[in-house]
Amino acid sequence: MVLENQVYRFMLMNGDIQSVMALADPQAIVFPHQQRMLQVLDDLPEGARVLELGLGGGSALRHVNYQRPDLHWTSVEHSAEIINLYWDYFSPQSLAADFEFNSRQQIVLADCTAFLNKLSGTRKFELILCDVYDVVQSEVLERCLNHLAEGGTLVVNWLALKQPQGDNSESFFRQLLAPGTFQHSMDRVPGFGNQIHTIRCLD
């Protein structure tokens, strides 16, 4: 479902707000947790490869269309309904008829685990964003880590209300990460239940 007022357009699924777009500035990142997740974009080299798990309303994809069109960006989303809503109401093409399609960017309809399982072992990404509105599976993150390029970064949105561990994510990531292989940090989003976990593959 899509709703809007004079300021924002909202995507709702099962009564929950999945995405918010500012009508006056569609490229702006509205949610604080996404602002934190996307800070890493400034550090990416020209033409870097990015994998996004969870499209939602396409806030990140819309943002890079304007700010980093050089990035090779793949968004994986398991819901055809969400993808259709993105194209109809939230994509740059739906907002500006003359917006030029960017062939470096693609949206894939697939389950995250199935998609990662089918990836070639040689396909690597400088950045992987895991922003699924669901349980964060260790199996998915392990596969993400396997597909990080040297010096690459995995950023995970840990939404406590969706996780069996709740707000206590430390043991989860401690078991996931091999010592000396990855650098891990965690930031809380003030006023929200999100934790942003940043994992960098050491050279």
Instruction: List pLDDT tens digits, range 151-202.
Output: 999 999 998 888 888 888 888 998 888 777 899 999 999 888 899 999 998 8
* Chain mean position to CA 82: 14
Which helix (H) or strand (E) segment holds residue 18: the answer is strand 16-22
Q: State both tokens at 85.
A: 């809503």
Instruction: DSSP for 108-150, please give it.
Output: EES-HHHHHHHS-TT--EEEEEE--SS---HHHHHHHHHTEEE
Give the pLDDT confidence score for residue 147 in this predicted structure.
94
Query: Diameter of the chain by CA atoms?
Result: 50
Q: Judging by beta carbons within 10 Å of its beta carbon (0-12, 13-18, 19+), is residue 176 exposed, middle or buried?
A: middle
- Per residue in 95-106, pLDDT tens? 876 667 788 999
User: What is the number of other CB atoms lying within 10 angstroms of the CB of residue 7?
Assistant: 10
- b/e 96-127 (16+ beta carbons within 10 angstroms → b): eeeeeebebbebeeeebeebbeeeeeeebbbb
The pTM of the whole model exceeds 0.85: yes
Give the pLDDT confidence score for residue 109 in this predicted structure.
97
Give the pLDDT confidence score for residue 144 in this predicted structure.
94
3-state helix vs strand vs coil in the chain, percent to 5: 30, 30, 35
When comparing pLDDT for 160 and 25, which is higher? 25
Whole-number Å distance between alpha carbons of 2 and 199: 34
Whole-number Å distance between alpha carbons of 145 and 152: 9
Give the pLDDT confidence score for residue 98 in this predicted structure.
67
Q: State both tokens at 120.
A: 């070639």
